């Protein structure tokens, strides 16, 4: 291997380079922090995706006649079906950060209404045991709160439960969702408008806004934006911490590399004495640093994601929690920390080695 090769130095100084690579690997701590901070918002991905496919409406005055007339016009439009909702019931799930979050829930007046909803949303459920007083949850939600089929909840379980419910079915939905079935008389003057013939999203909202003009009806909107605003503070705190961590890593790793390159003054003094250009010397230093960084990130990434996989499957999934493997916020923090270390290293070590003078030896 040629002495001017980037790998030559790494091969000849394995132990020292390994320790420095471990320091570069610490950038994955920033990545893990990003996954951790973004997790509470990730928990809402499923409900938010659902709110893009239906529209929830409420009677503002509770006028039964006006509400029924509005629902009739929805049916006559041929673009949507109205699914009646009952009195609101809900309880929280537990987040990985230790606080409770929620509510992702719907309460239906009849089993048939719930069937209509499931057919539209593509949710598979065993309806054979469902009845008035049934509760249905995603498997992850049930694991998260420690409930099993046949378990009962009532007002003592949560202040937002208004009667006794039995967990009669579980869904395979990839997230936290729960549903309740009450009595036909328990109409809350609220409904979900689910589209027909591909009607959804903005088209469905426009239909609801158009039909509500002659009625006292409120159309729910901006659900995703509301959720984002609630977790905006988390992102701001993370960004502040990441900048601080990036500065600390840059100073610490740079100090460690100073010692390593000081021992190489004679080497680079010889390069300069025999006429090696500054451009080639800088190129050698840059390639060495990139080589060590790539090895640290490659091998470290394999170790990190294997550990995350095992942590998810052995620790988090059994209790209905999880960490995603990727999030843009986590990637941003990781890249910022890595560049904050790598770029100053390239500049400072290049300047240091270009000052090496053979006359000093």
Query: Higher model confidence: residue 180 or residue 20?
Result: 180
Answer whether residue 1 shows pLDDT above 50. no
pLDDT number for residue 59: 92
HEC states along the chain? CCCCCHHHHHHHCHHHHHHHHHHHHCHHHHHHHHHHHHHHHHCCHHHHHHHCCEEEEEECCCCHHHHHHHHHHHHHHCCEEEEEEECCCCCCEECCCCCEECCCEEEECCHHHHHHHHHHHCCCCCHHHCCCCEEEEEHHHHHHHCCCCCCEECCCCCCCCCCCEEEEEEECCCCCCEEEECCCCCEEEEEEEEECCCCCHHHHHHHHHHHHHHCCEEECCCHHHHHHHHCHHHHHHHHHHHHHHHHHHHHHHHHHHHHHHHCCHHHHHHHHHCCCCHHHHHHHHHHHHHHHHHHHHHHHHHHHHHHHHHHHHHHHHHHCCCCCCCCHHHHHHHHHHHHHHHHHHHHHHHHHHHCCCHHHC
Answer whether residue 3 shows pLDDT above 80. no
Answer whether residue 58 shows pLDDT above 70. yes
Q: What is the mean pLDDT of residues 227-243?
A: 89
Query: Higher model confidence: residue 135 or residue 254?
Result: 135
What percent of the chain clears pLDDT 90, i.e. is strictly above it?
A: 46
Summarised one tens digit per residue, pLDDT across range 17-32 is 676 677 777 788 899 9
Answer whether residue 89 shows pLDDT above 90. yes
pLDDT number for residue 332: 93
User: Mean pLDDT across the chain, nearest whole number?
Assistant: 88
Q: What is the mean pLDDT of residues 113-134?
A: 93
Q: What is the mean pLDDT of residues 245-273?
A: 81
pLDDT number for residue 5: 66
Residues 277, 262: Cα–Cα separation, whole Å: 20
CB atoms inside a 10 Å sphere around CB 125: 19
pLDDT number for residue 2: 63
pLDDT number for residue 35: 94
């Amino acid at each position: 291997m040629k002495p001017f090769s980037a790998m030559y130095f790494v091969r000849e100084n394995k132990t020292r380079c390994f320790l420095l690579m471990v320091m570069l690997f610490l950038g994955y701590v920033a990545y893990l922090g990003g996954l951790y901070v973004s997790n509470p918002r990730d928990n809402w991905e499923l409900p938010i995706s659902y709110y893009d496919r239906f529209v929830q409406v409420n009677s503002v005055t509770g006028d039964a006649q006006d509400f029924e007339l509005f629902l009739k016009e929805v049916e006559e439009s041929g673009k949507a079906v109205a699914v009646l909702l009952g009195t609101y019931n809900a309880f929280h799930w537990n987040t990985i950060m230790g606080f409770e979050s929620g509510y992702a829930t719907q309460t239906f007046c009849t089993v048939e209404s719930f069937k209509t909803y499931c057919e539209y949303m593509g949710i598979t459920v065993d309806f054979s045991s469902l009845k008035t007083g049934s509760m249905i949850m995603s498997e992850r939600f049930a694991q998260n709160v420690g409930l099993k089929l046949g378990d009962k909840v009532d007002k003592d379980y949560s202040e937002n439960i208004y009667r006794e419910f039995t967990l009669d079915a579980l869904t395979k939905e990839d997230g936290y969702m729960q549903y309740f079935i009450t009595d036909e008389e328990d109409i809350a003057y609220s409904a979900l408008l689910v589209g027909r013939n591909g009607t959804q999203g903005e088209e469905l909202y426009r239909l609801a806004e158009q039909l509500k003009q002659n009625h006292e009806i409120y159309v729910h909107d901006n659900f995703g934006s509301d959720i984002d605003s609630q977790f905006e503070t988390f992102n701001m705190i993370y960004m502040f911490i990441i900048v601080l961590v990036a500065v600390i890593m840059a100073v610490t790793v740079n100090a460690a590399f100073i010692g390593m390159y000081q021992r190489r003054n004679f080497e680079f003094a010889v390069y300069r004495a025999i006429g090696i250009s500054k451009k080639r010397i800088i190129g050698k230093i840059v390639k060495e640093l990139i080589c060590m960084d790539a090895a640290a990130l490659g091998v470290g990434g394999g170790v990190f994601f294997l550990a995350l996989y095992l942590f998810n499957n052995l620790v988090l999934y059994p209790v209905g929690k999880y960490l995603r493997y990727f999030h843009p916020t986590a990637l941003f923090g990781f890249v910022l920390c890595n560049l904050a270390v790598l770029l100053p290293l390239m500049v400072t070590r290049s300047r240091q080695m270009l000052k090496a003078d053979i006359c000093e030896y």
